[in-house]
Structures are given as C-alpha cells and as structure tokens.
Structure 1
Amino acid sequence: MQQTAAIIGGGVIGGGWAARFLLAGWHVRVFDPDPDAQRKIGEVLENARRSLPGLSDTALPAEGRLSFHSTMSDAVDGAIWIQESVPERLDLKRKVYQTLQHHCAADAIIGSSTSGFKPSDLQGCATRPEQIVVCHPFNPVYLLPLVEVVMGQADALEPRIDAILRQLGMRPLFIRREIDAHIADRLLEAVWREALWLVNDGIATTQDIDEAIRLGFGLRWAQMGLFETYRIAGGEAGMVHFLAQFGPALEWPWTKLMDVPELTDALVARIASQSDAQSGTHSIRALERIRDDNLVGILRVLKANDWGAGAVLNRHDNHLDEGEIPSDMKGIADLARPVKTLRRAVPLDWTDYNGHMNEARYLQAFGDATDRLMLIIGCTPDYIRAGGSYFTAETHIRHLNEVHAGTQIHIETQVLAGAGKKMHLFHRMFDGTRVLATAEHMLIHVSLETRRASDPAPQIADALARLVHAHGPLPRPEGAGAAIGLR
C-alpha cells in the first residue's frame, strides 16, 4: 500500500523533499501559496527524474501521485509524514504547526527542514510537542542522503523516523543534544565566515575560494570527512601525531571565526559581481543539472567502493531488490522460468552522442546479470575469497532496439548448460515486454590459486544442475549459439 506525505512549503528544499518521497513511491500532497509553486516543483522534479534513477543500480519503485492543494488542511489529509519547509521565521513556523496539528492525524510525524532552530524552539507552543522533530536535509534533497534529526520531546518516534528515512534511501544522523544549527551548518558557518573575510580583505576572489575547496580538501571530505582525513595526515602514528604537530597551530591568530565582516552594499556588490563572473554564463537550472550530474558520478564511485555515502546507497539498493531479484536459489519463485537477474534505470552517463546506451554499458548490464546468477548459485564473495570463481570465456551481444537514458530495463537469464567446468547463460534485456538486446555468456570455473580451469564446489554444481534441468524444457532462445565456438 502506497503511503502519503505532505509537503508544506515548496521552495528548493520542499521541492527536493517532494521529489525524494515521490520517486520512492509515496503519494505527495503539496501546500504552498506561491502561485509559481507548481512550476518550481515541476522543474525540481524534472531534475530529480533525470538524475536519481542513475544513482541506483536497481529499479526505483513506481512513482507516486503528486497533487497540489489550496489549504494545509486538505494537504495533510491521509499523510503519515508532514515535512515543513517554510522560511526560517520562528513565528511563521509555530503558526504553521498550530494549523497542522488542528487538521493532521495525531500519529503523523511532522518534520521541520529548519537549518537553525532547535526542537524546543519549534515545540514551544505546540498542541502535541511530541509530534514535531527537526529533520534537516541537504540540497539537493533527492540525491544527498544525510538528514540531521533532533528529537526534543519526540523520542518515542525515533524507530519510525529511522525506518521511513532509510526506506527513502537516506541516512538519519540522530543528534542527541539539541544545539542551534545542529552539526553540519555549524561547520559550514565556520568556513563561510572565513570565506567572507578573505573576500572582504581582498585576499581572494569567490572563484579562488571555490577552487581551493573543490580542487583540494573538498575532494577529501566527500570520502573521509574531517577527522579521518587528519588521521591519515598524521602518518603511521595517526591522530595523536597529527594533534601533537598541528594542534598548537589552532592557537595562532589565523582565523576570524568569532567575527563577521559587515555586509556593506560594496561588499555584497563585489561578491555578487565575482560570483556572476565565475559561473553566471549558466542559468541556475543549468548549474543544478551540472551539480546533479557531478554528484551522481562522485556517488557512484563511492558506491563501487562501498564507502561513505556510497555504502548508504548500496544498502538502499539491496532493500529495493528484496523480493524482486533473488540472491540465492531459495529466492527464485519459479525455477522453470528464466531468472530475473537485473532491474534498473539507464543512467545518463551510460549514453553516447546519439543518446543511446553505449556498447560498453550493454556489457556492464549483462555482466552484472551474470554476477547475480553466480551469486544465486552460491559463487558468493566468501566462495571467491576461498579460491574459486567463474571467468568469462566468450560473449556475444545482439542490439535489437534503441535504449535511452531513463529507460527502466530488466534482464532475465536462462541457463543453457552447466555441466563440469562450464556455465552457458543466455540473457534477455527488456523494457516492459519489449526485447532490447540479448547476450550469451560462456564461463569457465577457475581455481584462483592455479588460474586454471577446475570443477566447482559440489553445492555450486548442484545448484547449477537444478537450473539447467528446470530450464531444459524452455524454447531455445533465438540467436543462441552464435558466439564463436558455440555454433
């Protein structure tokens, strides 16, 4: 059964939340008095639909239903999660909560996107303070997984909040003591103050500062954060050595962390002029798309290494695949049918100059399907570490129909043979019921110690034999045996 979320305030953050919920399969009901709200959220959704499917290595749920409402009371009808993203004015937020609590379900979660207010600030005049929590995301909400969660009087809601946010593919960071601006914004504020002083004092331009971050420590922070980065900087002795060497430097008069330059008209004009010169040739929407494409690329590298935000995304992929793609023989509902071994959307970076999925990505998709079949029959990471695996000896791919970015593909795998050292697979790639491509793989079981062909372990041979026997009555696929050596 699809769940419903209400979004109160449809700006950049509210629109990002709407996209996150909608593409996770939730129905989304939006209230925002701005007459341009529908257009703005539509543009955010367009960016999210373009980028988010490419972040996942499995298919996303069917998109929920989006609706816009003229009153908060109508918007929260049936909602189990209400995300408030109105401007950062405490009087406005409190007024919103009074209206929301008058109309929403008593057990609905009300999350605030506030970047600065504490739960005690928000819960101060609420009818049900235990219903309101801080859920502070990061822009773009539909790509970045972190959510800072501060509970206040809502501790009883923690298990539900944790489960829902993880279902959305996010990583809740529960902050045990409330503090103004939480964690991340306090760190960002320190860098922001220094940056303003560097421009104010004529030491650097906005572009100089951005280059220092994105070409230097920003790349380290994306994968290891602050403390782990400095632990490495301490060499073999680690953090103790780093603090001994560089800790005293914190006492030097380098920073102006407690001071803020006066934002005079002249300083604002200088910052705006430099910023426009730096990237003003791109519209804001174009910059968002560039940002999203780069984030997807960075996050996919982290996924490949199962590290940082990439590990969060891998866990979400595994959650989405539960019940859809088997991970062992027990997970196959019907042995007599080809096994579903992959489902995903085609990401942007899989396409070529013609807008088609390029040849290398067909091989990657079919290779991923082969890897899944190997896992199903018991050729697990532990088995491979113990010294046995399958090597691909021959591959034959047929391209039958065009495949574009965003296409929801799935692969079904038929096992043609599996006696002895050989495994012969035939994959079909589909968009719905339309066949897009096929691939034939011949694999040889190998001892990783000798690097020579060897018989698989009995449990793998037995699982493979079961699939060969079950698939034997199936019609031989068109094009099977076309690869060299199989004719």
Structure 2
Amino acid sequence: MSSLKRAAILGGGVIGGGWLARLIENGVEVTVYDPDPEARRKLGEVLANAERAYGKLTLAPRPAKGGWRLAGSVAEAVEGAELIVEAVPERIDLKHKVYAEIETANAEGIIASSTSGYKPSDLQKPLAHPERLIVAHPFNPVYLLPLVEIVAGERTDAGVVERAKEIYATIGMKPLHIRKEIDAFIADRFLEAVWREALWLVKDGIGTTEEIDDAIRFGFGLRWAQMGLFETYRVAGGEAGMRHFIAQFGPCLKWPWTKLMDVPELTDELIDMVADQSHAQSGKYSIRELERIRDDNLVAIMQALKANDWGAGKVLADYEKRLFALTGTKAQDFSRPFVTAEARIPADWTDYNGHMNESRYGQLFSDAADGAMKAIGADQDYIARGLSYFTVEIHIRYLDEAKAGDRVTVTTQVLEGKGKKLRLFHWMRHEDGRLLATGEQMLIHVSLETRAACDPAPAVAAKLGEIAAAHAALPLPEGVGRAVGQRP
C-alpha cells in the first residue's frame, strides 16, 4: 500500500482518468476537478475497465479501494492533497493558470505534471514555490503500463524527486528518472520519430495504417515489449554482441532510407487518408471495446514476462510481493482460524458454465498455505535462505460455486505443527458467507539445497508451535480426515 493518502487530479481526460484508476486501486483517496459536464460518466467507464483489468492482472490482495469525488474548483480539489496530478491540455498558458490556482490553496503537495513534452523548468517559471514541481509523464493506459518518466526542473528540490519515486514505486510503477531536461523526454522522442515516418509511409502510399501496425505488432513490437532497443540489437549482433552489430549495420545509417528530418504537411487530404484508413482498420469496435482488448493483451504480456521475472513483468512481480507482504503485517488473532488468502475471481478462472473451475480452488488453497507460511515466518526471505515447506497431500471438498468477480476469503486452522510436519485445514468462503470449499493439506519442511526433509529454523518452529498449541483447543473441523466418497 502506498504511503500516499490523498491526491488531487486536475483534468479527467484519458491520462487523468488513468491516474485516477491507478491511485484508487492502490487505496488512495482522490479528488478530481474537470469542468466537462460528462466527466463523471467518462471517468466511471475508465474505472470499470481498470477494475476489470486489475482483476486479471494480479491475484495479490490489494488494499481497500480508495474513494473519489468530483470537486467544483481547482482550489477545492487540491486542498490537503499530498500529490497534485496536473493532466490538463498541452497549453503552457493553461498550465500556468492552473498552477497559480494551486498555489493559493495548497502550499505543500507535490505538483506532478503529466505533460508529454514541456520541460519542467519552463513549467516552473511563474511559480512562487517551484521546488515542488516535477514532470511525471505516464503512458496510456496509466493503470496498467508501469513506466513513469520523472523529470526535475532547474529549481526542483531533490527530496521531492526522491519522494515522488517512492510514491510511484509503491503503486506498481517503474519510475525512470530522466537526469537531463530535454523536450519530450526519452520515450516520446522515439514515438515521435516512428509516428513521423509512419505518416510519410501513408502519405506516399507505401503502406496503410493497418499494414504499418501489422509491421509493428507482428515484428519488432514483440521484441521491444521485453528487450527494448539496445538489448535487441545486442542479441542481433550474435556472439560478438553490440560492437559487431554496429560494425555490420552502422554504415546504413548514412543511407537515405527514412525521412526523419522532414515533417509531412498535415493537409486535409493526409488527415482524411489516415482517419479513413484507421476507421476501416478498427471502426467495427467502439473505443471502450478497443480499450478492453488492449488491456487483456497487455495483462497477458505482462503475466508472461512476470513468469520470466523480466521487464514490465518484474515490476509487476515486485509490486505483488509488496502487496503480499502487507497481508503479513495485518494484525491477526491466532487463537482461532486466521485469514490466509483473499481474492476476487478473475474471468479466466471460470469454465464454460461461468463458474470457477476446480483447479483454481486448489490454487487458492495453495495461496492460503503460503499465507500460513508467512504467518510463522517462512516467508520469501526464509525461502531465499534455502528452507521451505512442500505440499505432499491435499484433499479438497467442493461445496458451492463461485463466479467471475466474486470475492472469496480463506481462513486456516493448524491441525498439526511439530517437527517437520505442518497440517492445515482451510475454509473458503464467499463474501456472502457461503462455504465454497474446504481443504485439508499436509506439508513437510525441506531443505531446498538437498531437497530432503529437515526441521524448520528455531524461530519458525517456535511460532508454529505457538499457533498449533492455541488451535489444539479448537474443535476439529467438520470434514477432517474425510476420504473421497465417504458418506457424511
């Protein structure tokens, strides 16, 4: 959970809406100002898509969702905010006007501009307190893509930069500190170059918008998603690496292949050509449908990268570790069965009937075992030291159905916790109170180095013994020791 408690967003467009989604999904209370009379509807649709995407992105127990409201003015929105996200249109006079209104109502919050091009030093010029302004440039959709470019101006306080980096990291982002000011920063300079060349290709009749998009999404776009530019070319250089790649392909940089130094005139004819081709390419979908398709694809890519602990997937994995660690800090009453797992059922956990399939019950009980391990100190650090518990047997009773979007909670009783053995009994309950399943699970403590059973470390054994002794006074759960097919 972020240490940030309250934020304000000025501008509820595509970027402002994305910031709102990411912040409230991480438990931050947000006030939004946008004079658009349709702002509430538009933001509501963005938040619905974001909630859908987050349900697929991670099963880590997220903090309680933050609340949000619309304010009637800039001053009302920023009052008491620790972070002020400026996401108004790209007009520097408008931004300066908004900053003046901020300074009359809030003297301490970080002002973070979402500008995609203006240098922060230019944004700071009229400010009485320029030291608190930074650029924090995100990428659409803000609630999924982790990159945020952090740029300080000439008069930005270094402590503000560090505080901003900490805030963005705790909400699952990758803060990239751009060390020197430059128009459009790093990522947008690449995008502008590709966009300019793409417009020439359309104008000159070389390719349609769909053909150009196909060249990206079926080719180098897949490589860039996980290796970027320089690492991709290092691999392309073979065993000799980057030096060989530059020696082989460097001379072609002098060939007149591209038109990057020329700008195509945006005539009505070119605008119509691009717009008509784009509509023919994907006009059968609404923008909201395209957003959901995009989100599903991004989630799948990030999940695949997470499995390899790479790129944006590594950021996601680190974010999940932080969320899981927070569950271990919650106060628990170990004198009775305690909460070991919580989840909202994602759509891809369901079968053709729309119900959660049986393998996912097992996954949730596996997550519950991890939760029990954390409770006794057998956490990630313990595993890194070469010790863990392995499941050797589990018996699941399927008692009721869960559907996509349902919230479920698993509570656990320790039946045995002595020596190498850890025997658990889990109850999985729906948020409406229905008992969905039970699971009885036997785990054995092992050395990850030898893969053989061994006694747990003294601190883990002591904590487990403490909980096991408390649970020994509880009645045995109904269903303990039940064999498959045994009558009630």
TM-score (norm 2): 0.89
CA distance in 2, matches of 1:387, 1:77: 50
Is it true that 1:283 corresponds to 2:286 in the alignment? yes
Please give the secondary structure, in 2, of the residue aligned with 1:322. helix
1:76 is aligned to: 78
Please give the secondary structure, in 1, of the residue aligned with 2:327. coil
Contact 2:446 2:455 in 1 (8 A): no
1:399 is aligned to: 398
Please give the secondary structure, in 2, of the residue aligned with 1:135. strand
How do residues 476-487 of structure 1 correspond to structure 2 at under 5 angstroms?
Answer: 476-483=476-483
CA distance in 1, matches of 2:449, 2:160: 52
Is it true that 1:218 corresponds to 2:216 in the alignment? no
Contact 1:411 1:428 in 2 (8 A): yes
Gaps of 5+ in 1: none
Is it true that 1:256 corresponds to 2:259 in the alignment? yes
Contact 2:197 2:260 in 1 (8 A): yes
Please give the secondary structure, in 2, of the residue aligned with 1:127. coil
CA distance in 2, matches of 1:96, 1:448: 58
1:324 is matched with which residue: 314, 324, 327?
A: 327
Please give the secondary structure, in 2, of the residue aligned with 1:349. helix
Shift of 1:224: 1.6
CA distance in 2, matches of 1:170, 1:125: 30
Contact 1:332 1:339 in 2 (8 A): no
Identical-pair percentage = 59
Which moved further from structure 2: 29-38 or 356-365? 356-365
Contact 2:420 2:455 in 1 (8 A): no
Q: Deviations over 1:86-124 (max 9, x none)?
A: 1111111111111221222x1111111100100012111
1:44 is aligned to: 46
- Evaluate the alpha carbon distance shift between residue 40 and residue 385 of structure 1 in structure 2; reply closer, same or farther with a 3 A threshold: closer
Please give the secondary structure, in 2, of the residue aligned with 1:194. helix
Please give the secondary structure, in 2, of the residue aligned with 1:88. coil
One-letter identity of the residue aligned with 1:161: A
How do residues 135-214 of structure 1 correspond to structure 2 at under 5 angstroms?
Answer: 135-152=136-153, 153-155=155-157, 156-214=159-217
Shift of 1:166: 1.9
Aligned positions, number: 480
2:411 is aligned to: 412
CA distance in 2, matches of 1:80, 1:122: 19
Please give the secondary structure, in 2, of the residue aligned with 1:426. strand
Shift of 1:212: 1.6
CA distance in 2, matches of 1:486, 1:312: 47
What's the C-alpha RMSD, in Å, of the aligned pairs? 2.8
Shift of 1:339: 4.4
One-letter identity of the residue aligned with 2:305: L
Q: Deviations over 1:38-59 (max 9, x none)?
A: 1111111111121123322322
1:457 is aligned to: 455
How do residues 379-390 of structure 1 correspond to structure 2 at under 5 angstroms?
Answer: none
CA distance in 1, matches of 2:72, 2:419: 67
CA distance in 1, matches of 2:83, 2:342: 29
Which moved further from structure 2: 226-235 or 399-408? 399-408
Please give the secondary structure, in 1, of the residue aligned with 2:136. strand
Q: Deviations over 1:155-185 (max 9, x none)?
A: 3311221222222222211111110001110
Please give the secondary structure, in 1, of the residue aligned with 2:480. coil
2:104 is aligned to: 102
Contact 1:395 1:483 in 2 (8 A): no
Shift of 1:241: 2.1
1:474 is aligned to: 474
Q: Deviations over 1:284-335 (max 9, x none)?
A: 0011111111111221222222222222222222323334236xxxx98544
One-letter identity of the residue aligned with 1:129: P
Which moved further from structure 2: 417-426 or 186-195? 417-426
- Evaluate the alpha carbon distance shift between residue 382 and residue 457 of structure 1 in structure 2; reply closer, same or farther with a 3 A threshold: farther
- Evaluate the alpha carbon distance shift between residue 449 and residue 73 of structure 1 in structure 2; reply closer, same or farther with a 3 A threshold: closer
One-letter identity of the residue aligned with 1:179: I
1:272 is aligned to: 275
Contact 2:396 2:439 in 1 (8 A): yes
1:19 is matched with which residue: 18, 21, 39?
A: 21
Shift of 1:362: 1.7
TM-score (norm 1): 0.90
- Evaluate the alpha carbon distance shift between residue 107 and residue 446 of structure 1 in structure 2; reply closer, same or farther with a 3 A threshold: closer
Is it true that 1:120 corresponds to 2:121 in the alignment? yes
CA distance in 2, matches of 1:143, 1:320: 16
Which moved further from structure 2: 187-196 or 372-381? 372-381
One-letter identity of the residue aligned with 1:200: K
Shift of 1:386: 8.4
